Structure 1
Amino acid sequence: MDEDAKQRLLIAAGTGLALGLLLRLVPLPTLSSLALAAGTVVVLGALLLEILRSIARRDFALDIVAALAMGGALALGEWLAGAVVALMFAGGQVLEARASARAKREMTALLARQPRTALRQHDGALEEVPIEAIRPGDRLLIRKGEVLPVDGALEGPALLDEAALTGEPLPVPHPAGDAARSGATNAGESLVLLATRPAAESTYAAIVRMVEGAAAAKPPMARLAERWSVAFLLATLALAGGAWLLAGDPARALAVLVVATPCPLLLAVPVALVAGMNRAARAGVLVKSGAALERLAAVSILVLDKTGTLTEGRPRLVSLRPAPGVTEAELLRLSAALDQASGHVLAEALVTAAREAGLALPMPEAVEEAAGAGLAGVVEGQAVAVGARSFVAGHAALPEAAPHEPGTAAVTVAIAGRYAGTLLFQDRLRPEAPGVIAAARRAGIARVILLSGDAEGPAQAVGRQVGADAVFADHDPARKLAVIEAERRGGRVLMVGDGVNDAPALAMADVGIAMAARGAAASGEAADAVVLVDRLDRVATALFAARRAQAIARQSVAVGIGLSVIGMLAAAAGTLTPVQGALIQEAIDVAVVLNALRALSPGREETA
């Protein structure tokens, strides 16, 4: 039954009850009874169909109690009691539907990023063909900003943004003849790619298949209510039957069934979960379903990607090493002036640093750029070259390379034909990252793992800074899946990442959270929750919200069922009529819902 159908049932039950009560006031008792019965029959009919489907799936849920209560009320002419039970049941169904409405995960964003066509060179001309038509040996023109549609070999040097595949934030220069993987973005000028594999066998297509397979392998989350359903059902039927046999009055059995209608189970869980989802949403975390929030509350192992997750995902200038006779200001000003002519990510970081330092940047002249290597030109009448050491060596004699910290990228600068210095760039750790790990441990995380496609040195350095229990570096998507699978043997796993390379691991983990403010759309589609703001600390907020919602749901269920049991015993003893039982049950429901709504606010452990 979809959400629209459940809403129609709620409208039918509410209309029948309201109309029946109004006709009683007129008074038109016969029409009132018909109105009350009509609303009950509509809900009961839909419920019986769902029960039959459940039986076919061998899934015996608590809905049977509600059906018996409504059916018994109609059989005994307890029209008002039946209508109240119908309204409570329909309302619980709508709330539950809203809690899981976002559970569907489509791969539309991932598939949208995958190229549909490519420009193929044929008989001296370019033709646009579907990627399915590409065969090994085809020569493809890839323009700037386009995604490589298939795996291939580069006919010339190229600059590729491989962040979606490896998580590496810096574009990577590739020489002619180098292998290039589909899914990478051309960050330089137009290039020619010689296809080596058809699209269906390429890297990006494999990632799509891994995401789909990992998502399909995830076991479904049962409702919290269903864990107690069989025992509660048997106890209810035994008590109702015993009351009927001992008193000889079927109304007592009906009263027991009405009070036992498990709305604390049907209402408390979805309300608490929806409240927890709203609490997370206010912090900028979109949790896609109530089931995902339940799983999030149970995780004990946190796996974090490095680039773009623990780090900012943007390189910054961290150090200036001018040569003797060159000032830091002059090194920064002239190199940044030249880099205004480049769209390279490091050039943008250099220009930003110079402007933040308040330096006026003159315009460069006669600029020539070698994709992924560097650029040379004239600034204020002086020849300036900026880029990789091998590139700048063609413009000036260079001293022996000095060592630099792991995880930094070195850019060499020459001015007026002489070595002028070195610039060091680094993708910095998010300032909130260590605090997030500490908060996650307070929220119940017992083990923290850093899982990265980056090199061993930078990954280990970040792992030490945040206090990770283990670091796995240089892992591609397939190896990341293996780590997630191994960790799941020790507990439920939460994976946090931001790129297409993280998407399979996000889908395989018990819960996946995507940093989607600047991350790849594929990771957001594969994940159970998405952080919509560029703040890692919101992951800890979501953890606290999930655990609080789960605890309140359990508390609400326990209190609600406890009160229902007391009411059932009173009904079995003959001290409650069916209508009184329905009203008492309604009061219990209100108390349960009000308690469940406490999940909207943060708990004491979160503010500690």
Structure 2
Amino acid sequence: MSYPLRQLRPVVLILLSTFGIVASIAFRFASLPAASSYVLAGCILVTLLSLAVDVVAGLRAGEFGLDFLAAVAMASALWFGENLAGAIVAVMYAGGQFLEAYAHHRADEGMSDLLAKIPRTAHRLRGEDIEEVSVEAIAPDDIILVRCGDVVTADGILQSKNALLNQALLTGEALPARLVRGSEVMSGTVNLGDAVEIRVLRSAKDSAYAGIVNLVEAAKRSKAKLVRLADRYALAFLSLALAIAAASAIVSGDLHRVVAVLVVATPCPLILAVPVALAAGTSKAARQGILVKGSGPLEALATASVVVFDKTGTLTLGEPVVTQIDGPEDPDEVLRLAASLDQASAHVAAVALLKEARRRHLRLSRPSEVVERPGAGITGLVDGQRISVGSENYVERQEGVAPGGSNGSTALRASVMINGKVAGVITMEDRLRSDARATIDGLRTLGIKRLVLASGDERSIAAAVASTLSLDAVKSRLSPADKVAVIKEERTGGPVLMVGDGVNDAPALAAADVGMAIGSQNLAAAAQAADIVLVRDSLRGIVDAITTARRARNIALQSVLAGMGLSLLAMIAAGLGYLPPVAGAMLQEVIDVAVIVNALRALH
């Protein structure tokens, strides 16, 4: 793993400053005071020049923070010959930068997992030949062959009679889509049925899937930069320190009091308190199965007042489960025969039937003479009986009857026939997570102002979930770009936390003030785009993460205010002549230790 300059530079500065202090002490013992002073001055100068780059860049961007305050402290120490105090400031400053960089070391990870999923080749039809070409070679009006299990490489129009496609990558919908000839097919979908032919509409670089990657990268670039908590106090603290230093020098006529005041006014408490407290908070979160990519996201999470949820795989389980079995025959026998036949199918409904049969401890038989029509149904022999399992249209085509069963657009229904007669209808739904209700209640208790559902599903499905959980608003039929627009719209109500689990959520996760990816599956792209990843597949981690973030931020704020208060008392004492530079430096170290100890409370 390679680390950028911003992460390596603090390490170099810490080692350099520490070496300078040790070497200085060695030269002192060797009766070489001049060498001791030069070594310290050199170390301070290198750190100061490095810091000056950040100060200038910040001022050009209209930002004023702790970097400028630290630069003034080191420059004044160097100017008045208090090199040891300056070197101590350099070590403390570099230490704070290192802690902050370490906490952020995963924040800029690229979209490698997402990019790895982009198809690299496609099968193009030329006359009677099928040629494998790179996706860059695919042009509009080309006919491509998409085999079972392949990812569609470019947006196009379905040329085959029908197709069964998994669109979860783009829409988040758990159930597969059945398309007929003439339907538009989006790149990034997976063919679950027989090989199909697609006429290309757009080149791969202009496809829906490539658009998601571009959206994520654009959202990351456009995300507002967080202002560090301690930076908000930097200008006032610096102004106060300079005022006390100037007043003490004017009143006493002793310019060295300026040094004494500025030494104890060094921003070490401010520099260290926030990164230590937030790094401790991220450590505590990690023990809870919550991976936070740096102190910035943790601080943003602490201030979030709006939460936007994805539906499928986030609030719901992301896979259909059997909820009801209707019909004239025994439900367990209907399920047993259907599940026995579906052992030969990879359809999402077949997986749900098998799981339910095993949960009920039903004895499954081996099927034979199995024939499956992708997107329609499956037929075969089980225990000498001809069993058919499929959609309503599949049954109608075979028997000319319309099955009964539960109504509503939220369910997937599988009709089961035994020897040509309808034996039952099995209803499957993508159920809410068991902890969804408790999580929503927990967020309300924490004072979250607004809870929104942003889903790619149909309005009826999304509205049913939102109503069950008493959410404040529901947005449906959303594309990845639409979800980004929802984030921007909701930001008017305060900082936004986006919670999702799939590739289709990645742009919104990157665009939100803080993005949170949940679950142990389908996290590749979402985890790359998100600021926080819940390793445990539980919604409860959302409440735990916010609680931990708020506590860490409160402790950081306490440490900042306590450090500033103690430094102010020390500045007054130094201005009055009761605290010389050396004693001031020692006292400042005591203040630093007190601040760090308090900040470490965030670990517990």
Question: TM range, normalised to the smaller chain?
Answer: over 0.9
1:35 Cα deviation after fit: 4.2
Q: 1:126 aligns with which of 127, 130, 135?
A: 130
Question: For the residues of structure 1 that align with 2:479 and 2:56, how far apart are their CA atoms?
Answer: 47
Which residue number corresponds to residue 329 of structure 1? 332
> Which deviations, in whole Å up to 9, do the C-alpha atoms of 1:392-412 show, x marking residues without a partner?
234435355344355221100
Match of 1:379?
Answer: 382
1:430 aligns with 2:399: no
* Equivalent in the alignment of 1:161: 166
Given the superposition, is the C-alpha separation of residues 301 and 58 from structure 1 closer, same or farther in structure 2, using an over 3 Å criterion? closer
Counterpart for residue 604 of structure 1: none
- Partner AA of 2:207 in structure 1: S
1:80-479 aligned at under 5 Å gives the runs 80-156=84-160, 157-323=162-328, 326-396=329-399, 398-479=401-482
- Superposition pairs for residues 48-67 of structure 1, below 5 Å? 48-67=52-71
Q: Which amino acid aligns with 2:121?
A: T
1:584 aligns with 2:594: no
Change (3 A) 1:54 1:179: closer
Amino acid at match of 2:311: K
Aligned-partner residue type, residue 496 of structure 1: V
Give the distance between the partners of 2:20 and 2:204, measured in 1 at CA: 58
Q: Secondary structure at the match of 2:157?
A: strand
Cα displacement string for residues 151-179 of structure 1 (whole angstroms, at most 9, x for unaligned residues): 11222221100011111101122223322
TM-score when normalising by structure 2 = 0.94
- For 2:556 and 2:304, how far apart are their aligned partners in 1? 17
2:44 corresponds in structure 1 to 40
Task: Tell me if structure 2 keeps the 8 A contact 1:255–1:576.
Answer: yes
**Which whole-Å CA distance do the structure 1 matches of 2:405 and 2:87 have between them?**
82
Distance verdict in 2 for CA 1:484–1:63, change over 3 Å: closer
Task: State the distance in 2 between where 1:503 and 1:375 align.
Answer: 36
> C-alpha deviations, 1:493-517, integer Å up to 9, x for none?
1111112222222222222112252
Cα displacement string for residues 221-257 of structure 1 (whole angstroms, at most 9, x for unaligned residues): 1112222222222221121122122222222110111
1:484 and 2:487 correspond: yes
Give structure 2 stretches of 5+ with no counterpart: none
The one-letter amino acid of 1:315's match is P
8 Å contact from structure 2 (residues 77, 86) kept in 1? yes
Shift in Å, 1:524: 2.2
Task: Give 1:6 deviation, angstroms.
Answer: 1.3
Q: What is the CA–CA distance in structure 2 between the aligned matches of 1:398 and 1:58, rounded to whole Å?
A: 72
Q: What is the distance in 2 between the residues matched to 1:55 and 1:476?
A: 39
From 546, 552, 555, the equivalent of 2:555 is 552
Contact 2:119 2:153 (8 Å CA) reproduced: yes
The letter of the residue matching 1:469 is D
Task: Assess, with a 3 A threshold, how the Cα gap between structure 1 residues 87 and 400 changes in structure 2: closer, same or farther.
Answer: closer
Cα offset, 1:462, TM superposition: 1.6
Which residue of 1 is the match for residue 72 of structure 2? Answer: 68
Measure the CA separation in 2 of the matches of 1:350 and 1:184.
24
Partner residue, 2:510: 507
374-383 or 130-139, which deviates more: 130-139
- Counterpart of 1:606? none
Between stretches 360-369 and 219-228, larger displacement belongs to 219-228
Alpha-carbon distance in 2 for matches of 1:178, 1:561? 65
Q: How far apart in 2 are the matches of 1:282 and 1:483?
A: 32
Comparing 32-41 and 233-242, the one that deviates more: 32-41
Residue identity opposite 1:480 in structure 2: K
Residues 280, 552 of structure 2: 8 Å contact kept:
yes
Q: What residue in structure 1 maps to residue 578 of structure 2?
A: 575
Q: Is the 8 A contact 1:397 1:419 kept in 2?
A: no
Structure 1 residue 577: Cα displacement: 1.1
Number of residue-to-residue matches in the alignment? 599
Instruction: Check the 8 A contact 1:516/1:524 in 2, yes or no.
Output: no
| Conserved? CA contact 1:96–1:267, under 8 Å | no
Could you tell me how far 1:332 is from its partner in structure 2? 1.2
Q: State the alpha-carbon separation in 2 of the partners of residues 263 and 349 from structure 1.
A: 59
- 8 Å contact from structure 2 (residues 302, 553) kept in 1: yes
Secondary structure of 2:107's counterpart equals coil
Q: Do the aligned residues in 2 keep the contact of 1:225 with 1:269 (CA within 8 Å)?
A: yes
1:79 aligns with 2:83: yes
SS in 2 for 1:428: coil
Superposed CA deviations along residues 253-300 of structure 1, whole A, max 9, x for unmatched, are 101111111111111111111112222222222222221212111111
In structure 2, relative to structure 1, the CA distance for the partners of 1:242 and 1:51 (3 Å cut) is same
**SS across alignment from 2:474:** strand
1:597 partnered with 2:600: yes
The residue type equivalent to 2:87 in the other structure is: A
In structure 1, what is the equivalent of residue 501 of structure 2? 498
Amino acid in structure 2 at the alignment position of 1:278: S
Partners of 2:395 and 2:402 within 8 A in 1: no
Cα distance in 2 for residues equivalent to 1:497 and 1:421: 36
> Which stretch of the first structure deviates more once superposed, 4-13 or 69-78?
69-78
Whichever residue aligns with residue 441 of structure 1, its letter is R
Name the amino acid aligned to 1:142. Answer: V
SS in 1 for 2:369: strand
Residue 526 of structure 1 and its aligned partner are, at CA, apart by: 2.2
Distance 1:54 1:471 in 2: 40
Does the aligned pair in 2 maintain the 1:65–1:260 contact within 8 Å? Answer: no
Q: Distance in 2 between matches of 1:469 and 1:219?
A: 26
Offset of residue 122 of structure 1:
1.6
User: Identity over aligned residues, as a percent?
Assistant: 46
- Find the aligned partners of 1:245 and 1:450 in 2 and give their Cα distance: 63
Distance 1:125-1:399 versus aligned 2 partners, 3 A rule = closer
Instruction: Tell me which amino acid in the other structure corresponds to 1:118.
Output: A
Which secondary structure state, in structure 1, belongs to the residue aligned with residue 217 of structure 2?
Answer: helix
3-state DSSP class of the match of 1:148?
coil
Structure 1 distance, partners of 2:360, 2:235, is 69
Residue type of the partner of 1:223?
Answer: R
CA distance in 1, matches of 2:474, 2:56: 50
